[in-house]
Structure formats: structure tokens, C-alpha cells
Amino acid sequence: MTLIIYNGPIGDPIKNPSNKFLKKIILETSAEYWLQGSGDSCLEVEGLDERLIFFYDEPYGFFIMRHPDYLAPYDESKELKVVEHLVGGEPMKVPSCCYVSRIEAYNILLQFVVEKEIPGDVRWVDIYDLEFDHGY
């Protein structure tokens, strides 16, 4: 069995989180949960070089990033604004057009855990290619 680890903003890492656990974290946690501790979460799959880092911001939704490559889902139809989220106590600037809904986030993260690979049906873009933080 491949080891999967969930690291949340608070608490100890959870090994092999269940689909029910992921569903609760993504679909039911309040925005306040994502303001605690480190401010972000991570899913790691044993044997993969990439991991998914994610957090939630009202009213935008979930920001999911492939680490270490800074790739995130991209929707060019959304307005491009700068959103700041505290990660480890430091502001991280992210583009608003890279946030996804709770349902989309759940599907991306569940596919990552079940298939043990980065979902290929998502349009991933390097967030720094978007040039979203000029003049901020």
C-alpha cells in the first residue's frame, strides 16, 4: 500500500486519510480553519516528487499548487486580482484566477490520492507566468 500523508494547518500529520476525511476537510471546514497554524495543507504521495499544497480563502475558494513547480489550476475567465494568504506567518501572494470551488478542489485532491498522480485534466499554469503582482 502506497503511503499518503495529509499535513494540515494544525495538528499532527495523518497517514492514509480516508475519502470521508478529505471530503470533510474540503467541503465542510470553515474559512477560519485555514487561518490557523501554518495556514496551509499538503498532500504527499509516497514515490511522487510533487505534492499538492492547498488552502481556502473566502470568497475565492481553494488555491491548490503543485510543489515544487508553483503550478496551479487556471481559469482565464476569472478576474486577475492579488490575494494574500498567510503561510507560515508570511503573506503569500496568489492570483485570484487560480482558485477553484470546493467541489473542484475535492475532485482534484481525491484524484491525486486515488490515482497517485497529478490530475491531467486540469489546466495547470505557473503562477509566476501570470505576472499578477506588479505594482502591488
Interval 60-113: pLDDT, tens: 999 999 999 999 999 999 988 999 999 988 999 999 999 999 999 999 999 999
Number of domains present in the structure of the chain: 1
CB 94 within 8 A of CB 119: no
* Torsion angles phi and psi, residue 59, rounded to 5: -95, 15
The band of 134, judged by pLDDT with boundaries at 50, 70 and 90, is low
Whether 136 maps to a domain, the answer reads: no
Whether 134 maps to a domain, the answer reads: no
The CA angle 12-105-41, to the nearest 5 degrees, is 20
Given a cut of 60, is residue 135 above it in pLDDT? no
pTM of the model as a whole: 0.93
Whether 21 maps to a domain, the answer reads: yes
CB-based burial label for 33 (10 Å; 0-12, 13-18, 19+)? middle
Average pLDDT rounded to a whole number, residues 44-62: 96
Cα end-to-end distance, the chain, whole Å: 46
Which residue range forms the structural domain that includes residue 125? 4-129
pLDDT of residue 1: 82
Whether 109 maps to a domain, the answer reads: yes
Whether 94 maps to a domain, the answer reads: yes
